[in-house]
Structure 1
Amino acid sequence: MVISEKVKKQIVQSDYISRDLSWINFNYRVLDQAKNNDKSIIERLKFLAITASNLDEFFTIRVGSLYNYLDYHKQRIDYSGLRELPFRKVLLAKSKEFAEQQQQLYLNELLPKFEEQGFSIVMYKHLSHDEKERVVKYFESTIYPMLTPMVYDSYHTFPILGALRFVLGVVTKSAEDGVDNKKLSFIQVPYNLPRFYEIEKDDKIYFVPIEDIIRNHADYLFRNVKIQSINLFRITRNGDFTLEESDDIEANFLEELKQKLKTRRTGRVVRLEVFGRPDTWMLKVLKERWDIDDDNIFRIKKKGLIDFTGLWQIVGHSHFKDKHSEMPPMVPPVSYPEIKEENIFEILKDRDILLHHPYNSMEPVLDLLEQAAEDPGVLAIKITIYRLAKDSRVTAALLKAAENGKHISVLFEVKARFDEENNLREAQKLQKAGCFVIYGFSSYKTHTKLLLIVRKEGEKVTRYAHLSSGNYNESTSKLYTDLGLLTTNDVFTHDVSEFFNVITGHSMPEKYKNLITAPREMKPQLLRMIRAEAENAKKGLPSGIVIKINSLQDNDAIDELYLASQAGVPIKLIVRGMCCLRPGRAGLSENIQVISIVGHYLEHSRIYYFHNGGESKLYVGSADMMVRSFERRLESLFEITDSLLKRQVINILQYNLKDNVNSYLMKEDGSYVRKASGDDPEFNIHKEFYHVHKENLQDLDLTFDKEITVEEGELFEDVVIEEDLAKEE
């Protein structure tokens, strides 16, 4: 797949990086973790599986979104300046390069190490006679009864094949009236069975792919028919949709959501992954049926593996639990060293608590909720929910609170991507228990994370608030880095109360004292603070901006950062994922540096720091600098004002800028290179944050004079994809 020089030049000349191409670069950084020889083979397989899951979502949503424009003949101009058709070619070509990198890593570096680590992925034909007998029994008793062959011919319509499921396309011939008729049938591999059948033998574990077991026993399903070929493939469908909410929430909106979820299963095909050398006639049928071409077809070599997400079965196997990285035990929050020793309500009346997950446990938040559910003085609990853990303690606490007669208000975001069904089920459970449940707010997705508890204490009422960058999910709080503030400060609790009145009622406050909220005021206020730094720089005053976010895509924000850079403001951006800003371009962004941190934990917190003439402004919250965050979501940022907690957050930014183990520096062309440690000792934030105490936080200030150095050379080189699979033989 060749990209023209003209298209390449246009991409390079643009002042913005393509959102989708930047995302592919992000997934390369995750893949780089799987290349790390210092990690165990199980850890490396974990990161390879993560890249595969990421790529599945990318095709389902981002490539799916592109096809919404292509299929309905609507104009779309990418940040790179390309129209939808040429951009499609670039995007699919770059995606194929990445998929080729995955396969090369698996075949050349990971697969050869399996045996020495006590396991292997074994095809059916390589099993011993006794092992084959075990597999046959499993097939006959468990797999075979679940299989349903679906023929496609003049008498049978083309079946609806599931997205991201293995399918065997079986080409058969049968003699009828003396004429050979070629037919195509499909066998969907059951998704509710393990990917691999496991055989333990001599302290080794053999993982036999279920699709290979079915392929070797396809004759059970095609009696007295000549099988010409059996072809393994997997399709990805467009899962991007936009909900148009109606006023009749209970009847229409929830029903529409259910219908939209069904379309995700039947959306247009955007990717076809095929294993080995598939039947050319079958490919022709599939291409015509799904209106795809060779650009959409991803070919996996015979010794490769289709769908690396199946590796989670190996990664999570109890046999390999000692192969995972051991992290230190969680530590008490800096402002709450006596955790568990006193009543959380009494502690919060004495001070604010800043939680830095996963180094600090989520227990104080869960304790607060669970105590509130039982406390006779608690009158009401209000909370926004975006994603929940399975068997959620949050849901259990809310149900208990409702049972105890407390007023419970829950804004449940049932449109949280890929969690819609679970959220809908949990929301209805709460509603049946008597909770006041709001299914979203107007046309906006609720992404803010807020909790308010109202408690009667003698003759007065005290409000307790939790404001966070992370979800109320006790599982992901052990894997994602997030910040949460527990407080009884009247300024915070008043703002949170006002915000809940907006989303549950018909209130519209003129101004919050502490919160900055989207979609109303967040973007204008952030842009004003960027401009203020630019004005200070023009006057020769000290200035500086440090922003830590997941994604940077809003072009108005990018333009303001460009102008601030040109005014002389030193800007450091810590952007984990996609970044559409182009740093270090002469005359445009020379004073902007962008780093990305990818490592053991997923960096999820959002922090905004502005020098502000020495009276620094510091905000934490749920929002990235994206169009969807500013314009299509309910988001909130809250200002950190307590001096100790402020030093704690500044220290977090300092550590992020100091890290030389997990950090990558973005180059002007949009590629990334590892950050060089030089003569400095190794500094890994995913370990260092376990050792932060009050005494570490004295006289902190962010400095902007030290440049980040990088190793020479490209981290990720272009891969030439060989379209002619005959050469693999």
Structure 2
Amino acid sequence: MLDVNLKAPEHYINRELSFLNFNQRVLAQAHDERLPLLERIRFLGISCSNLDEFFEIRVASLKQRLELGSITGGPDGMTVPEQLVAIHERAAALVKDQYELLHELVFPDLATQGIQFVNAKTLTPDQRKWVGDYFAKEVEPVLTPLGLDPARPFPRIQNKSLNFIVRLSGKDAFGRDAELAVVQVPRSLPRIIRLPPTTGEPGKTYFVFLSAVISSFVAQLFSGMKVEGTWQFRVTRNSDLFVDDEEVDNLLRAIEGELAQRRYGAAVRLETSIDCPEDITNFLLRHFALKRDDLYQVNGPVNLNRLMAIYDLVDRPDLKFPPFTPCIPKRLVAKEDIFAVMREGEILLHHPFEAFAPVIDFLRQAAADPDVLAIKQTLYRTGPQSPVVDALVDAARAGKEVTVIIELMARFDEAANIQLATRLQEAGAHVMYGVVGYKTHAKLIMVVRRERGKLRRYCHCGTGNYHPNTARVYTDYGLFTCDEAVGEDLHELFLQLTSPTRVASMQKILQSPFTLHEGLLEKTRREIAFAREGKPARIIAKMNALIEPQIIQTLYSAAMAGVKVDLIVRGICALRPGLPGISENITVRSVIGRFLEHSRVYYFHNDGSPEIFCASADWMERNFFRRIEVCFPIERKQHRDRIVEDLQTYLADNEQAWVLRPDGQYERANANGAPTVVAQQVLLQRYSDCNE
């Protein structure tokens, strides 16, 4: 084997630029005219929402590091200042693409479908009258224009809120010269307003952005003054929460305190309308302590993800993906007693192709069953009105011993999880917040049931959250099992989460932060040993992100030894495939389609005795070392064969797949004359009739 420095920076892709590449692939879905129009608009909105979070968390983190004097980069070698410059260049191009798409494709295509967005220049007299009345009755009463002068300083601007800066001339009621004012727009006002049918052509639907309404009638807020100009602006702030692990004595109270400050974290990005004068943009940049590279001027509304509201405002099924009904395996339909079905053999569900309902039924049945003594569950994200939580509340009220590990630090779901924790505690459940410093990201349920004088554990392990809504749009696997060893492993894991205890020796499960990382390295090295013996060796891994350096280096070693490595990585990937002499045996593809690819699956050929694991963990440092994660084996041959078939389907996708090149760029997979394969459509068809 060649003596190669596998740690060399040129062998790695920068994680921030990799994310921006992923977001460009999301935006490409909005460009794809083969997709239904309203679905394309959703992808446009998702790309904007993704970019917001990227600035709130990732760019904010880089800026913090720079302020603290840390400029060293990651494995790719880019320093923090170099990353910030590259991010601005790449993000600016992405934003430009988003707004060009809006004007050149979205608005014209909507118009051809009889859906028209109007603005100040295109309003008819009837529409202008209606919009003026709407402004006077619904908007003006909740707006508070704020003049800027020594007695009235610049107001606090909330994270990602819609604001206007207004240039004025003339004297106010006290005879003072007024030059600038700020108008803050409450979040309670809808950002897209539907005009009544009577104001336009029959058969057409008309909408107007709230920003256009305010721009058109803002002068009414400044009686006796002349409005010289009105420009939108929006500030993105650092939204990461910080809780000092060593100082905190009450995690819930500490997070509640941090949430109150999140809206006013340090500014990291300023967006303004494209026609905003330079002196105004410079004034805003100075006020928010931002530099020119933090400015993004846009040709349209400053918050494009609000456009996604149109999806629900328009009743046009012909412009959306056809509806589908997730199937339920025949074994579960045939018997109402899910415990009896589990005793007959494990059950594997693949969401959203198969229904999430059995998971809810499992909890409901456990809550009502007099033989069930205890229920233990982890909750990361589950939604504010959750049937999962309803079942846990019912179980606690029925006298079951209910223990719930709620992750309070689930990003942007902290407030909802605090509410859930309070509700469960009021019902009598034991609520824990995991281990301070380690997010509980594992997806687990354990039900303890008394049967014939003995206790038996029934378990559910998943790759995705217990969230019924996302289970319809995220791809995930879930396993029902009453395997004794798995039950004992989960028992030990819940003990870790609820009480001081030793690190358990797991029988079947790999767990972060203890055994998962080394376990995956060991299984990869085993494939390397088989390859060196001249035996077939292969790894297939599907995940959301791959950036952990030691895993990447071991995959490079595997490829150099002759192991065939196929990676299906939806988002960030720091590994470079196809490098001569290093990673020529590695392929990386990203599938972006109707459903968000979310399942984590690891396949190891193991000399013809394949091992397959599903997990809650991506291959990132945080998942291996700073989170509680679970990786569970799929042992039933029927289930292993199903998963392998699913993985092969993703590897065969030649329409919604993107292939990573050695230079870090992605290109669409090409059928090259072969039959078209769209993995998610194939899976929809495959699972349309559940056979298990």
Fold shared per TM-score above 0.5: yes
Residues 138 and 475 of structure 1, relative CA distance in 2, 3 Å threshold: same
Q: Assess if the C-alpha contact under 8 Å between 1:78 and 1:87 holds in 2.
A: no
Deviation digits for residues 246-293 of structure 1, max 9, x if unmatched?
5765xx322221222233211121111111311333222211111212
Q: Is 1:567 aligned to 2:561, yes or no?
A: yes
Residues 347 and 656 of structure 1, relative CA distance in 2, 3 Å threshold: same
Matched residue, 1:371: 365
Q: Assess if the C-alpha contact under 8 Å between 1:195 and 1:310 holds in 2.
A: yes
- Which of 156, 160, 164 aligns to 1:164? It is 160
Matches within 5 A, 1:642-657: 642-657=636-651
CA distance in 2, matches of 1:503, 1:440: 5
CA distance in 2, matches of 1:507, 1:176: 69
Matched residue SS, 1:192:
coil
Matched residue, 2:146: 150
Matched residue, 1:661: 655
Instruction: List alignment gaps of at least 5 residues for structure 1.
Output: 1-11, 699-729
Residues 247 and 491 of structure 1, relative CA distance in 2, 3 Å threshold: farther
Matched residue, 1:721: none
Matched residue, 1:287: 285
1:290 counterpart letter in structure 2: F
Residues 176 and 640 of structure 1, relative CA distance in 2, 3 Å threshold: closer
- Which of 483, 507, 530 aligns to 2:477? It is 483
Residues 243 and 190 of structure 1, relative CA distance in 2, 3 Å threshold: same
Matched residue, 2:448: 454
CA distance in 1, matches of 2:106, 2:45: 12
2:302 counterpart letter in structure 1: I
Q: Is 1:636 aligned to 2:634, yes or no?
A: no
2:278 counterpart letter in structure 1: T
Matched residue, 1:627: 621
Matched residue SS, 1:91:
helix
Q: Is 1:676 aligned to 2:687, yes or no?
A: no
Q: Assess if the C-alpha contact under 8 Å between 2:327 and 2:689 holds in 1.
A: no
CA distance in 2, matches of 1:696, 1:338: 10
Matched residue, 1:469: 463
Matched residue SS, 2:194:
strand
Matched residue SS, 1:579:
coil
Deviation digits for residues 40-72 of structure 1, max 9, x if unmatched?
221111111111111111111111111111223
Matched residue, 2:228: 228
Select between 676-685 and 489-498 the one with higher mean Cα deviation. Answer: 676-685
Q: Is 1:240 aligned to 2:264, yes or no?
A: no
Deviation digits for residues 216-273 of structure 1, max 9, x if unmatched?
2222322222322211111111112332235765xx3222212222332111211111
Matched residue SS, 1:572:
strand
Q: Assess if the C-alpha contact under 8 Å between 1:607 and 1:621 holds in 2.
A: yes
- Which of 583, 597, 600 aligns to 2:577? It is 583
Matches within 5 A, 1:46-445: 46-175=42-171, 181=177, 183-201=179-197, 202-245=202-245, 249=249, 252-301=250-299, 304-333=300-329, 336-339=330-333, 341-445=335-439
2:322 counterpart letter in structure 1: E
Select between 337-346 and 195-204 the one with higher mean Cα deviation. Answer: 337-346
Across the aligned residues of Structure 1 and Structure 2, the Cα RMSD in angstroms comes to: 2.2
Q: Assess if the C-alpha contact under 8 Å between 2:235 and 2:267 holds in 1.
A: yes
Q: Assess if the C-alpha contact under 8 Å between 2:332 and 2:341 holds in 1.
A: no
Select between 634-643 and 67-76 the one with higher mean Cα deviation. Answer: 67-76
Q: Is 1:14 aligned to 2:10, yes or no?
A: yes
Matches within 5 A, 1:30-49: 30-49=26-45
CA distance in 2, matches of 1:119, 1:318: 9
CA distance in 1, matches of 2:539, 2:460: 26
1:578 counterpart letter in structure 2: I
Matched residue, 2:3: none
Residues 693 and 219 of structure 1, relative CA distance in 2, 3 Å threshold: closer
Shift of 1:85: 1.4
1:122 counterpart letter in structure 2: V
CA distance in 2, matches of 1:227, 1:177: 15
CA distance in 2, matches of 1:213, 1:522: 54
Residues 248 and 84 of structure 1, relative CA distance in 2, 3 Å threshold: closer
CA distance in 1, matches of 2:35, 2:382: 30
Residues 328 and 224 of structure 1, relative CA distance in 2, 3 Å threshold: closer
Q: Assess if the C-alpha contact under 8 Å between 2:474 and 2:595 holds in 1.
A: yes
Matched residue, 2:22: 26
Deviation digits for residues 475-506 of structure 1, max 9, x if unmatched?
00000000000011111111111111111112
Matched residue SS, 2:315:
helix
Residues 535 and 242 of structure 1, relative CA distance in 2, 3 Å threshold: farther
Number of aligned pairs? 681
Q: Assess if the C-alpha contact under 8 Å between 2:477 and 2:614 holds in 1.
A: yes
TM-score, structure 2 length as denominator? 0.95
CA distance in 1, matches of 2:347, 2:394: 25
1:95 counterpart letter in structure 2: A
Shift of 1:640: 1.0
Matched residue, 2:495: 501
Instruction: List alignment gaps of at least 5 residues for structure 2.
Output: 1-7
Q: Is 1:685 aligned to 2:679, yes or no?
A: yes
Residues 577 and 375 of structure 1, relative CA distance in 2, 3 Å threshold: same
CA distance in 1, matches of 2:68, 2:152: 29
Q: Assess if the C-alpha contact under 8 Å between 2:380 and 2:410 holds in 1.
A: yes
CA distance in 1, matches of 2:426, 2:690: 49
Matched residue SS, 1:319:
coil
Q: Assess if the C-alpha contact under 8 Å between 1:469 and 1:606 holds in 2.
A: yes
Select between 664-673 and 533-542 the one with higher mean Cα deviation. Answer: 533-542
Matched residue SS, 2:618:
coil
Shift of 1:80: 3.0
Deviation digits for residues 422-442 of structure 1, max 9, x if unmatched?
011111111111110002312
Shift of 1:26: 0.5
